[in-house]
Amino acid sequence: MNTTANGDTANQASGKRHPAVSYSATITDPQDPDAMPMWESFDHPAIQDALQAARTYIHTAQPSDRLVDEGHGVYAIWTGTGRTSRQVGMLVIAQPE
């Protein structure tokens, strides 16, 4: 495989181009992380693109919700303020397996 100037890899045998790296953004229920995702977005060329897609979705769905960076591509999604504040989701930015 060859890497092109824009970061894609080209398979010489088939001529098909595939992104060199892509990222997904997945929101899950913090109380049931094994349940179906609440929201997913795929094929982002950079981590920041996946994060921006999630921020846009969250802001559209619940403008007052906020993300708290927990490190390594994991973000807690919180709603409310003070004593009424509670975690309502978990966002994970990762490379699909």
Residue count of the chain, please give it.
97
pTM tops 0.85, yes or no: no
pLDDT in tens, 44-66: 999 999 999 999 999 999 999 99
What is the rounded distance in angstroms from the CA atom of residue 24 to the CA atom of residue 73?
A: 10
What is the rounded distance in angstroms from the CA atom of residue 71 to the CA atom of residue 36?
A: 23
Among 16, 25, 21, 44, which residue's Cα sits nearest to residue 91? 25
Of the pLDDT bands very low, low, confident and very high (cuts 50, 70, 90), residue 3 is: very low
Residue 14 has a pLDDT of 46
